[in-house]
Structure 1
Amino acid sequence: MGYDVRMGDCFIFINRTRTTMKILHAEDGGLVLYMKRLEEGTFRLPAYDKDSRSYPMNWSSLVMMVEGIQDDPNTRLKRLKAFRNHQ
């Protein structure tokens, strides 16, 4: 694809059903792989770019996709809330 994770490019892998996402990027000392699996809902993909053969996005767009935030910040795709035990 012509990209290099060691040069700051971030690689995002989403399964066919769009319920699991893996993000690969480099930090000082090595590569980091994050994974998120949705219990409800799906990830919405950005527009495909034929020239780069990818789905280009900036970091804030990635965060919004992971959190399920739509173009309207008041609207979110369905996501389960993590249970937090407050003591």
Structure 2
Amino acid sequence: MISVPAGVRILLAAQPVDFRRGAHALAALAAEALGEDPFSGTVLVFRAKRSDRVKILLWDASGLVLVWKQMQEGGFVWPPVTDGVVRLSAAEFSALFDGLDWRRLGTPRRVPRPSAAA
């Protein structure tokens, strides 16, 4: 399991990528095709054509970090293949990385801001 600090943007590239690509090629893809700065601290999640593989790219201020995971049984739950990116919450990312259906988490409830007592 990978834990992501609160407030970090997590973006999932909806199109499958060639999994022979390394960290620098994925960073270039993020900049060119997705319009995202791979050196901004955003967690970038890439999927393979096969549903059982994922690559995660992030910049940790000292270098690019590339995480590759292949599920032994089953696969990851992916959104439909489209262009662009899908923004994930930290909880959705954790569920995705663990092989769970992250779409079932739902959106978090908004708690109204309390007003000052009069």
Do both proteins adopt the same fold according to a TM-score greater than 0.5, normalized to the shorter chain? Answer: yes
Structure 1: 4+ residue segments shifted above 3 A: 46-50
Identity of aligned residues (%): 24
RMSD between aligned alpha carbons?
2.0
Asked if 1 retains the 8 angstrom alpha-carbon contact of 2:77 and 2:100, the reply is: no
Shift of 1:28: 2.3
Shift of 1:68: 2.2
| TM-score normalised according to structure 2 size | 0.51
Matched residues in 1 for 2:71 and 2:85: separation? 22
Unaligned runs of 5+ in 1: 73-87
Distance change (3 Å), C-alpha of 1:17 and 1:46: same
- Is structure 2 residue 86 aligned with structure 1 residue 55? yes
Larger helix proportion of the pair: 2
Asked if 1 retains the 8 angstrom alpha-carbon contact of 2:46 and 2:56, the reply is: yes
Matched residues in 2 for 1:22 and 1:42: separation? 13
If asked which structure has higher relative contact order (CA below 8 Å, sep 6+), I would say 2
- Is structure 2 residue 69 aligned with structure 1 residue 69? no
Matches within 5 A, 1:16-35: 16-35=49-68
Query: Highest Rg: 1 or 2?
Result: 2
Corresponding residue number in structure 1 for 2:45: 12
Asked if 1 retains the 8 angstrom alpha-carbon contact of 2:56 and 2:68, the reply is: yes
